[in-house]
Chains A and B, each alone.
Chain A
């Protein structure tokens, strides 16, 4: 049937500048640009344009501009164009609307309502350029106290600890959702900077085993690629219960993205959709989680921390308490704005809670129960810059994960077409022609640069607060103030109002 959907974007070409080099047609994977030989002109199919800017970036003469289709509807505060167009799509397809990347809606972003302190007069700010500033942190379970023998030697043996040189890791992004080149870029950057990257639920390609010391291997509901060597190679094993982009449902890898290599790594037929089950079928209750955690500890001989990742939902505090008591060494909370390669749009935009609130309530609850030291807390879900990272640490996180930010460093423009497998930037695709567009040498350099920039900024902020070790900011909510928040929000965040 003919579609009633208007084009989302319009491509404008400055004909004076266009030299008909055809780069735009070559680069566009959505078939938006083409060369008309008869007219000797570059032309457009605007209805295919997704607004990914690939052509704009690569046009050598800067001849291109992509704009949101200015087609106007009569103003309707309730029936916004997006809702109208969603219905049109559903009428035409009869299916669940899929999308990619994270929640783009207007639920309150608490990072933007929190401000940080700085030292003035009563104690000095510390100069991060010249005086030592420590961002090192260790993830893992810690005891309440240590014991020494009569010679003052350490008797206590700690549970396995993983050292991070910066409190920022790469989020779980599965092989299949993104290409092998992207995985390699993440692995190499993490290794260079001294932090961790996460395989996501698609398994670990053998080519990347050598980065095992910096790898977190995820065991998700589909158990893709989970075999003994996978567990042995990794440094941390993570049980994925849920993720912020789609709480309550499993992973989604459309068949178009299951290439030969993906098929080999995931151990499923090429071209099938990989729809992970909604729950882990051996975890129907908290005691089952304890069972799986210890199964993995046995399988890895108790030398690796076991991490458990959940989406941030209403009862996160109670759930987190259960997770810690069930034996998790690290808990990962993924908030409302977490990204993904494919998810039902309605779930992405309406299910889950902002990570700031989840973090605050989980950290407070664990401290109230006196068990905060038993697990490290890692959070994710729309961390955009080092300011967000500093605020997350101050609220109580041990470290943060970045997903969207990492992909943006590689070229992503958040056009939300990941599920089509046609990413023009070569990031979230399995198409071998497109995947070449991410060169791991350059990709890992860009990612390492990003982490490097953020650590310099973090050091500046820490120094400004008169702190020279990350652990003195962790959970130190007195260094935060809220702006434009209600009393209840301030109360849950455990933060005071500016001016007080």
Chain B
């Protein structure tokens, strides 16, 4: 989208400020499930948003096209569509193109066209350039050069559906009930300075990485300047974008695992680092020295997802909420516990993670019980004895 800045940030503020609700669900066996529950859960947190943005990321939804890049692109005009389609044909093998199914909904005012394209690179990438970098480059081109077009997502076997409306309205509009995926994330937005622009909603996506985010990052100014040194163009001017690019830099380019990346984005306090064993101290201290400009300060909870992993992370002093729920192979992350309980009342465990400690769901890795979820382990000794009758209590809640 040409002049993306102007559309995304019409008042030319330092950045776009959001407050929100977030939700994530993953089946760690890889079993695909319907998003009905996720949609109900995010709708339950209706009051955290203001209807000016909602969105979903779904992983595993295109089993017929698992090896193709699935581009979801929105258009504000036919010209935009024509130009971009020509561009796509020139830079990829276009295997399949169609409008993303949607249904008429009174809540959706002037929805843009949203189409999806299944693409193969087929050696179009120059010698020595990785396929991923090629895709990232083409997406950046579309997002900055073409009028009236914006890429929602560009990963394989995953997609982002988003727009202006409450998340449940977006789900209704894009007929999300027909999809199944093994990992879903969802977001409801409360922006303060970008009304009416579908591209501004979360999740933010680069390749198959998506980020949904609640909070406001007070270190944004320097996080962004630092990433720009490495060639990232922060055109969206949002915290979410900066988180996504930071993940891309640290995980994809620098090859660091997510446990280490969490320690870069939400490092322990210096005084806490000094309490750790020596080897760990050196690592944590070095991370903080080298990547000081990527420390995310201020309140945040993010759910980051890519194929195979869903990660929940909060800021170091836990200024934003996150509840984790587990049920057998299912991992739930939510801004509020009630949203999880609505769709899964009988969780194995529910807890609030400590600030700065990531919660990671990984394909093929069974969920570990959390040290914080200690409800079931009270010694029998402490249970009631005859001296204290039960009294009028406790039917186990339905």
Q: Do chains A and B touch in the complex (CB under 8 A)?
A: yes
A473 to B269, CA, bound (A): 16
Q: Does residue B292 face the partner (Cβ distance < 8 Å to A)?
A: yes
Cβ-defined contact, B299 with A468, below 8 A: no
CB contacts (< 8 Å) of A148 on chain B: these are: 256, 260
A478→B297 CA distance, assembly (Å):
14
| Chain A proximity mask over B194-225: 1 for CB below 8 Å, otherwise 0 | 00000000000000000000011111111001
B171 at the binding interface (Cβ < 8 Å): no
Q: Decide: B290 and A143 in contact? CB cutoff 8 A.
A: yes
A306 vs chain B, min Cβ distance (A): 18
Segment among A129-137, A167-175, A425-433 that sits at the interface with chain B: A129-137
- Chain B CB within 10 Å, residue with most, of A119, A131, A132, A154: A154
Choose the segment among B12-20, B56-64, B139-147 that binds chain A (4+ C-beta atoms closer than 8 Å): B12-20
> How far is A140 from B287 in the complex, measured between Cα atoms in Å?
14
Interface string of B281-320 (1 = CB under 8 A from A): 0110011111111010111000000000000000011010
Set of chain A residues within 8 Å of B282, measured between Cβ atoms: 154
- Bitwise, A454-475 to B at CB < 8 A (1) or not (0) is 0000000000011111011111
Q: Which residues of B contact A156 (CB under 8 A)?
A: 286, 290
Which residues 313-337 of A sit at the B interface, judged by CB distance below 8 A? Answer: none
**Complexed CA–CA distance, A147 and B271 (Å):** 24
- Determine if A123 and B218 form an interchain contact, defined as CB atoms under 8 angstroms apart: yes
B270 contacts chain A at the CB level, 8 A cutoff? yes
Residue A281 interfacial (CB < 8 Å): no
With known contacts A122-B17, A132-B317, A471–B229 Cβ distance under 8 A: no
Contact with B along A96-126 (1 / 0, CB 8 A): 0000000000000000000000010011101
A1 at the interface (CB under 8 A from B): no
Considering the chains assembled together, what is the distance between the CA atoms of A94 and B256 in angstroms? 68
Pair B292/A152 contact, Cβ less than 8 Å: no
Let me know if A17 is at the binding interface, CB within 8 A. no
Are B254 and A467 in contact, with the CB atoms below 8 A?
no
**Cβ of A475 and Cβ of B222 under 8 Å apart?**
yes
Q: Are A134 and B270 closer than 8 Å at their CB atoms?
A: yes
Q: Enumerate B306-349 residues with CB–CB distance to A below 8 Å.
A: 316-317, 319
B87 to chain A minimum Cβ distance, whole angstroms, is 30
Q: Please determine whether B286 and A472 come into contact, CB atoms closer than 8 angstroms.
A: no
Give the residues in chain A near B259, CB-CB below 8 Å. Answer: 152
List, in ascending order, chain A residues with CB within 8 A of B222's CB.
471-476
Contact with B along A471-500 (1 / 0, CB 8 A): 111111111000000000000000010001
Whether, in the assembled complex, A71 has its beta carbon less than 8 Å from a beta carbon of chain B, the answer is: no
Whether the Cβ atoms of A145 and B254 lie closer than 8 Å is: yes
CB-CB contacts below 8 Å: A146-204 with B: 146-148, 152-154, 156, 158, 161
Supposing A467-B218, A472-B222, A478-B220 touch, asked if A145 and B299 sit within 8 A by C-beta, the answer is: no
Q: How far is the CA of A417 from the CA of B226 in the complex (A)?
A: 45
B contact residues around A478 at 8 Å (CB): 14-15, 220-221
Contact B295 A142 (CB under 8 A): no
Q: Are B290 and A465 in contact (CB under 8 A)?
A: no
CA distance A118 to B230 in the complex (A): 29
CB closest chain-A residue, reference B264: A146
Assembled-state Cα–Cα distance A134/B297 (Å):
12
Check A134–B269 contact: CB distance below 8 A: yes
Choice from B255, B257, B286, B297 contacting A469 with Cβ under 8 Å? B297
Q: How far is the CB of A466 from chain B (nearest CB, A)?
A: 4
A152-B290 Cα distance, complex, nearest whole Å: 16
A472 B295 Cβ-Cβ under 8 A: yes
Neighbouring A residues of B216 by C-beta, 8 Å? 122-123, 466
- Whole-angstrom distance between the Cβ of B100 and the nearest chain A Cβ: 32
Q: How far is the CA of A473 from the CA of B221 in the complex (A)?
A: 8
Q: Which of A132, A143, A145, A473 has the most CB of B within 10 A?
A: A145
Of A131, A140, A158, A161, the residue contacting B317 (CB under 8 A) is: A131
**Number of residues of chain A lying within 8 A (CB) of chain B:** 44
A80 sits at the interface (CB 8 A): no
Q: Does B192 contact A (CB under 8 A)?
A: yes
B14 close to A154 (CB less than 8 A): no
Establish whether residues B215 and A123, one from each chain, have CB atoms under 8 Å apart when the complex forms.
yes
B279 at the interface (CB under 8 A from A): yes
Asked if A6 is at the interface of the complex by the 8 Å CB criterion, the answer is: no
Does A161 contact B289, Cβ atoms closer than 8 Å?
yes
Name the distance in Å between B107's Cβ and chain A's nearest Cβ: 26
Q: Which of A62-70, A253-261, A366-374 contacts B (4 or more CB under 8 A)?
A: A366-374
Instruction: Determine the distance from Cα of A148 to Cα of B17 in the docked complex, in whole angstroms.
Output: 36
Distance from A465 Cβ to chain B, minimum over Cβ atoms (Å): 6
Per a CB cutoff under 8 Å, which of B219, B286, B288 touches A154?
B286
- Let me know if A211 is at the binding interface, CB within 8 A: no
Do A372 and B229 touch across chains, with their CB atoms under 8 A apart? yes
Please report the C-alpha to C-alpha distance between residue A473 and residue B289 in the assembled complex, in whole angstroms. Answer: 15
Closest to B18 in A: A122
Given A123-B216, A154-B286: A367 touches B229 (CB 8 Å cut-off): yes
Let me know if A35 is at the binding interface, CB within 8 A: no
Tell whether, in the assembled complex, residue A153 and residue B279 are in contact, meaning their CB atoms are under 8 Å apart: yes
Q: Is A138 among interface residues, defined by CB-CB distance under 8 A?
A: yes
Q: Which residues of B contact A134 (CB under 8 A)?
A: 269-270
A379 to B75, CA, bound (A): 49
Distance of A14 Cα from B302 Cα, bound (Å): 71
Shortest CB-to-CB span from A491 to chain B, Å, is: 15
In the complex, the answer to whether A466 meets B221 with C-beta atoms within 8 Å is: no
B293 touches A474 (CB 8 A): yes
Residues of A within 8 A of B220 (CB): 476, 478
Give the shortest distance, in Å, between A160 (CB) and chain B (any CB). Answer: 11
Q: Which residues of chain A come closer than 8 Å to B229, judged between CB atoms?
A: 367, 370, 372
Which chain B residues lie closer than 8 Å to A136 at the CB level? 270
Beta-carbon contact of A158 and B290 below 8 Å: yes
B225-265 contact mask (Cβ, 8 Å, vs A): 1 or 0: 11011100000000000000000000000111101100000
Report whether A152 and B260 are in contact in the complex, using a CB–CB cutoff of 8 Å. Answer: yes
Q: Are A500 and B295 in contact (CB under 8 A)?
A: no
Q: Chain A residues with Cβ under 8 A from B192's Cβ?
A: 122
Closest chain B residue to A126, Cβ basis = B317
A471 to B270, alpha carbons, bound, how many Å?
A: 12
In angstroms, Cα B260 to Cα A465, docked, is 27
* Residue with the highest number of chain B CB atoms closer than 10 Å, among A134, A161, A367, A473: A134
Q: List 8 A-B contacts (CB under 8 A).
A: A132-B269, A134-B270, A146-B254, A148-B256, A154-B279, A158-B290, A467-B218, A475-B225
- Having A142-B289, A471-B293, one finds 13 other A-B pairs with CB under 8 Å, namely A119-B218, A122-B19, A146-B287, A147-B255, A158-B286, A466-B298, A467-B298, A468-B316, A471-B288, A473-B219, A474-B293, A475-B225, A478-B221
Using a CB–CB cutoff of 8 Å, the interface residues on chain B facing chain A are 12, 14-15, 17, 19, 192, 215-222, 225-226, 228-230, 254-257, 259-260, 269-271, 279, 282-283, 286-293, 295, 297-299, 316-317, 319
Chain A: residues with CB nearer than 8 A to chain B? 119, 122-124, 126, 131-132, 134, 136, 138, 140, 142-148, 152-154, 156, 158, 161, 367, 370, 372-373, 465-469, 471-479, 496, 500
What 9 pairs between A and B have smallest CB-CB spacing? A478-B221, A472-B219, A472-B297, A476-B221, A471-B292, A466-B218, A123-B216, A476-B222, A154-B283
